[in-house]
Structure formats: structure tokens, C-alpha cells
A and B are shown apart, each in its own frame.
Chain A
């Protein structure tokens, strides 16, 4: 039994592939906790970041700088009366939020946050992800229909139309990235010396980027960038976020498809929405931004060997420097916590809050210290870079929301069908030609 548990730690495949059900379950729990954690942090971070962009403070009262706000919100939502309209279609009304959350979390089964860190690695991983994530719209349509009310119905209709149209462009962009895994290419940045084998597996796609020594966003420059742009736009539309938040357009449809929802059910919709944001961000990271790879993954520098601290003869000084990144980020966060605690007004009423912020800083710093320890440091690299990239995406989501007005329905459709779709087709064609170019050149030479 012990062998069954520990034996997996040295495995080179994911628990799903290894058939190790215990570890698969552990990974499921890790992902569930991690995504929920990101959603909680995002709850606080979105309010704070958005507030600071809009010259206000955001939550300040519940805990130091509003750090306990997500907890307070959770308690509020759990204890709120759960209202179900008497005219609602009750089973469907009940099912809709559950469905949305279930789908949003199912996507994470194939998301790799390290070469062996995923629940399982399917050979059709990306197809699974696209397929499952597009089922989320069903929950929204169910919610809109079951509410038996005009505003939710219109929100649901908008949502389904929007998701269907943007999925096409999204799919084309994804195909372009998948094609890149099988092409060694001739673009200025696209020449790699590793083997190029086409794959649909999520881990395989990242490994292809590693072998080809290029993140696909830079491959066949600017083809990869354009494909990433298409995906980045479509993914905001898929998750119903500003500026494509028509289904829940507050100023038009009150709250869109979840107008009639309250309390826990409503919070499930929110959880589903934020989890879906993390999910599509991880697709984008996996396909174009090198997944768990650190920046400049193929530059290693001269080899160094420091006993105990760095015993990786195959890796170089650059890897050594980058290995401190997770601890450094936490130290910076801890520094900000200490800095703000020192800036707190010296008032007896704020004493507990100040101490709390110091304690929070200590916790962050402590975690940073733990991350410095060599055995931990080696193992968190992949996870750190993956989470770091997700955090960047989440910040962009907030930034978009603060900057842009909302598209109108017909304009949204126009952008989807008349701009993104042709662009996606063009990118796919160009990717193919770029990939074929060495062969075409060779063939031309042969003809001559």
C-alpha cells in the first residue's frame, strides 16, 4: 500500500495515465481547492484593483484592507434567504447553477500545471476542453428559461447566440496552435531543433513548445500572436466578461440570466463564472504561453553546482536564478503587507487590523521562506509559473472591465462573424503555408 502511495512520486506521467486512482483523487482535490482559492483571491483582488483604477478604495472595513471581505461575503450569501419564484420551472431552476459550476470545474481535469501535474492527460485533451467548456452555456440557457421572466430570458438568448458565434473563431485559433505543434517551420522565430510531432494532448502541446524552443505566441511571428489575439477576444466573450458581458448587462437587463437568483444559487453562478475564466485562461496559457514553462525556457547558461542548494548538473545558472522567483514574489507581497501595516493610522481602534496585516505579511514571508528550501523550490517551479500566468490573465480581465464600454448585441455578432472568423481562417491558412514552406522550397529546388 505504501509503495502504491509513494511509488507515484517518482512517476513521469499523470496519475490518470498511471492508473493511480488515489493520486488522481488528490489532484482533483488540489485543483478544486486551488481554483476555489483563485476565485476567492480574485473576489478580493478584482474589487481592489477595479477600485484603485476608479479612484476609490474598495473594501477597507472587513479586515485590514478588506482582506476578510470574501469570507464575509461567503457567510452573507450562505445565510441569505434562497428565493425561488413561484412561477419558476423548479427542477431546471435548481439544476442550472449546479450545472454551470460542474462544467466549469470539469474542464480542469486535463489542465496541466506541470509535466506530471494534471488529473489525467488525454490524447484529445484540447478537444475535451473545448467540448466541455462549451456545455456551460446550457446552464445559462436553463437558468434564463426556468426563471420564467423576461430579463433572464433575453439574457439567456443573448448568451447562447454569443457563445455559439465565438466558439467558431476560438476553435480556429486553437486549431492553428495545434497545427503548430506538428510544424518545425521557417518563420524567424519558428525554427526549433527538436522533434515536431502533432498532438492534441495538453501536456504534449506544452512539451512541443519546449522542444521547439518557442512559445507558440511567438511562433511564425506574428501568426501565433494573431491566433492568440483571436483566442483572447473569444475567451472574454465565452466567459461573459466586459466588454462582452451582454448576457448580464446590468444597465439593460438588470442582472441578465441570474436576475431571479439569490443567495447560494447566485454565488454558484459567480463561482462558475470565475472558474470558467480561470479555465479559458489556462487553455490560452497552455496553447500559446508555454504552460508551466518559465520565460526563456531554453536558455540555461553555464552549469553551476552548489552542494545542497543546487544539485542539477543538467541545468545552468539561469535556471538557478529563476528558481528563486516564487520565493521572491511572496517576499514582495510580504513587503507590501508590512509596508501597508506600517502606514496604518495609529489609532487604538485599528490596532487589531494593523496586527492582522503584520501577521498576514508574516504568513506570506513564511511561505516564501519555505519556498526557498531546495526540495520545495525544485518542485513548485511549474506550478508557480502556471499560477503566475493565470494571475496576469485575471488582472487583464479586471483591466478590460475598468476600461471598456459594453458592445451592443449586433456589434458583438459583427465582431465575431465578420472579423474574428475570417481572421481565424486566414491565420490557419498562413500557419499551414509557413509550416509547409521548407518542404515547398525543397520541392521547388528538386523541380529545378
Chain B
């Protein structure tokens, strides 16, 4: 993923000849393209419709989030993380808060942890729904998009009632949560769990047994378990390749150890398996929400946090299972009110590395399907 002009990419093309002495076609997909999910630019080397190689050019949405962190206090930086993966802003906030809490050596009270779990899992569902809608649209099925947006709206309504924002929620604070749950929160969440269960069946009805959908996704963008680990791919993409790795189970945070849920895995590591895994993950998230909302403990929602946060000199790395994979925050403190360095390990950025391996030798239509199945958010890739 380097600058295309430096890698000798264009020079390489001139010398290569293919069948019938036809030259390769270099196609610029993006940064303005309907299905590169934002401003991703993919340079495709094509032989007719066949993809010979790809090169990702990123950085069109770079805002210097990590650098901004060095000039903000720990509290002030909290809203910025929502703007990275804006589809799953709650997860970003959770990771950051957990990392700073680790630096400060404090822990959120149980009630706050439960609220965090409920909101994060709701956000996971919202993220997966948005992914499903756009992925299906990329493959040509229009209708699932509107179904998923209809149901995602219910989640956003709960967010709005809880903290006033729908997308970039900034719902968590270092040491707990800012807001107590509103009147009727439990009722709303319970209603949502009851409401969305059958709706997932509707999505599946449109896609899972659809012959064209299966043909378009089976054996497309196959990624083996070992390749996933070599490339650092995490999240549903890794699990669809048969690797049972979920940070919520592997190194539980925010009281995830108290909830009973399964890690759905696939077998082939193709686009269809990734779809199935994510659908199953929505169902598991509903299970977690159901358990959490019905056993939410009473108590404070904020730990004792100093007014001026000056974490001791040191460093902390906390990673959580965001909807797209392992979201890690590495924060170095020099003892002042501002972090010395913040490094984010965004799942989208790392997962995007697998694109070339997945699409080499396939067709143009598969590139679109694979970009969709990787579930990247360019705000997070470029930061």
C-alpha cells in the first residue's frame, strides 16, 4: 500500500505482454467510485475482465487523528475516536476509554460496564446491518439495503434517546459513562431484541438461499486461516476462515466473561462464509444484549476519576473486538495531561491488506464483492 508512483507499478506494466499481444488495461477504481466504500482508490491491472494485480492507494481521508491526540488532553481526545470508524463509533470510544483507564489504573463500575456492553453490541448490530446492506448493493441486490436501514434506525433511536447523538455518540467517558440510562431504556432494548430477530430472517430469506447470491459469493475472495494470521486479519474475516478467535472470549474486557455467547466460525473463508458469520454474529449480539439488559446491576456509573488526568509515565495497549476486527489503542504517557503518543490499530487498515491476495486472478465484479466483504471504513483506514 505504498504510493503507486514510487513502487515502479506503472513501469512494470509497459513491459508485460499478455495473450494475443494485448496490453494490460490499467483501471483506476476510485477514489470516486460507487462501491469503494468511501475514498479508497484501487489501481487494477486487468487482462480483459481478469484481475492481474491490485494496488490500494489510501490517504484521501487522512485527518491526522493520532497526531491530534498529542495536542489534546485525554478527555478532549475522546470524541475524536468516534470519527475513525463512524459506523461503529461506540466501539471506538470503548477501546479508547479502556486504554486510558488501564493507564490510570482504574476500572469502570459494573453498571457502567453493562451499559457499555449493551451499547457496544447494539452498535455491532448496526455496523453489521450497514455492512450487509452495502455489500448486497455492491453485488447488485438493492432491497436488503433498505431493509437493514429500516432496522438500524431503531438502534440509532436508542442511541439518540440515550446520549442525544445518533452516529458519533461519544457515549462513554474515561472511568464509566456520562449518562444514566433513561427511563424505559430496558424496555426499548428488549423491544428492539424482539423486533429485530425476525427481521434478520427477512435478510436471510432474500440472500442466503438466493441462487445468484450464493454463486456470486461462494469461492470468491478465498482466504485461508493461515493467510489470515500471516496478514494480521482479524474479526469476522478471520473467523470465517475457521480460526476461532474473538477477543471478547480470548481476553475478556468490560465484563464480557459474564455473558454466554458463541463464536460463529466459517469453513471455507470465502465471501459467503463471511456473510454467514456476520449474520450469526448479529444473532449472538442479540443474545448478549438480552442477557445484559435483564441482569443490569444497580450502582454508580462513574469510577473515581481525578479532575485533571495525569496518568503515570508508562504505556498501555488495549484491544477490543470491534465489529470489524481487533481495534487496538496503544497510548504512551509522559506523565502530563496529554498523551505522548497514541497509536491506533484499526481493523479496516489491516484487513485491507488482504485485498490483493483475495482478488488476484478473479474478475472485476469480484473486486467489488471483496472490498465489500472486508467491511472497511475509510475513516478508519486513513484516520
Contacts and interface: CB of A to CB of B under 8 A. Distances in A.
Interface stretch (B81-89, B177-185, B363-371): B363-371
A53 B140 contact: no
A444 interface: no
A404 B140 contact: yes
Say what secondary structure dominates the interface of chain A. Answer: helix
Interface string A384-409: 00000000000000000111111111
B147 A249 contact: no
Contacts of B28: 150
Contacts of B146: 54-56
A150 B210 contact: no
Contacts of B216: 405-408, 411
Interface stretch (A30-38, A165-173, A250-258, A324-332): A250-258
Interface string A135-171: 0000000000000001100100110000000000000
A405 B35 contact: no
Nearest to B365: A408
B143 A402 contact: yes
A408 B143 contact: no
Interface stretch (B66-74, B131-139, B280-288): B131-139
B35 A252 contact: yes
B142 interface: yes
Given A408-B363, A408-B366, A251 B141 contact: no
Interface in B262-281: none
Contact of B49 (A50, A154, A250, A405): A154
Nearest to A411: B215
B139 A401 contact: no
Number of chain B interface residues as a range: 20 to 34
B165 interface: no
A245 interface: yes
Contacts of A253: 364
A243 interface: yes
B25 interface: yes
B213 interface: yes
A252 B138 CA distance: 8
A254 B35 CA distance: 9
A239 to B, nearest CB: 16
B249 to A, nearest CB: 33
A416 B307 CA distance: 71
A410 interface: yes
Interface in B30-55: 33-35, 48-49
B150 interface: yes
Contacts of A56: 146
B34 A405 contact: no
A249 B139 CA distance: 9
B140 A242 contact: yes
User: Which one of B28, B142, B150 has the highest number of Cβ atoms from chain A below 10 Å of its Cβ?
Assistant: B142
A406 B212 contact: yes
Contact of A251 (B34, B210, B213): B34
Contacts of B143: 53-54, 402-403
A50 B145 CA distance: 13
Contacts of B231: none
Contacts of B27: 150-151, 154
A31 B69 CA distance: 68
B364 A154 contact: yes
Contact of A409 (B49, B140, B142, B213): B49
Contact of B139 (A53, A402, A405): A405
Given A154-B49, A154-B364, A251-B368, A408 B215 contact: yes
Nearest to A243: B212
B255 interface: no
B35 A55 contact: no
B19 to A, nearest CB: 15
B215 A406 contact: no
B206 interface: yes
B212 A55 contact: no
A196 B33 CA distance: 57
A54 B150 CA distance: 10
A254 B33 contact: yes
Contacts of A245: 140
A301 to B, nearest CB: 43
Contacts of A50: 142
Interface string A17-56: 0000000000000000000000000000000001001111
A3 to B, nearest CB: 57
Contacts of B215: 407-408, 411
B369 to A, nearest CB: 8
Given A154-B49, A250-B34, A411-B215, A405 B365 contact: no
Nearest to A56: B146
A409 B147 CA distance: 27
Nearest to B150: A55
A411 to B, nearest CB: 5
Contact of B35 (A53, A251, A402): A251
A242 B367 CA distance: 20
Contacts of B212: 243, 404-407, 411
A235 to B, nearest CB: 17
Interface string B340-383: 00000000000000000000000111111000000000000000
Contacts of A246: 365
A415 to B, nearest CB: 9
A404 B48 CA distance: 26
B140 A406 contact: yes
Contacts of A401: 142
Contacts of B34: 250-251, 254
A158 B33 CA distance: 19
Nearest to B366: A408
A411 B369 CA distance: 15
B140 A405 contact: yes
Contacts of B138: 251
Interface in A330-362: none
A405 B208 CA distance: 12
Interface in B132-182: 136-143, 145-147, 150
User: Which one of B137, B146, B206 has the highest number of Cβ atoms from chain A below 10 Å of its Cβ?
Assistant: B146
Interface in A244-302: 245-246, 249-254
A405 B368 contact: no
User: Which one of B33, B49, B210, B213 has the highest number of Cβ atoms from chain A below 10 Å of its Cβ?
Assistant: B49
Contact of A150 (B25, B136, B363, B368): B25
The 3 closest A-B pairs by CB, nearest first: A406-B140, A54-B146, A251-B35
Interface of A: 50, 53-56, 150-151, 154, 157-158, 242-243, 245-246, 249-254, 401-411
16 contacts: A150-B25, A243-B140, A246-B365, A249-B365, A250-B34, A252-B35, A404-B212, A405-B210, A405-B212, A405-B216, A406-B140, A406-B141, A406-B212, A406-B365, A407-B140, A411-B215
Given A402-B143, A404-B141, A406-B365, 7 more contacts: A150-B28, A251-B137, A252-B367, A253-B364, A405-B207, A406-B139, A406-B140
Interface of B: 25, 27-28, 33-35, 48-49, 136-143, 145-147, 150, 206-207, 210, 212-213, 215-216, 363-368
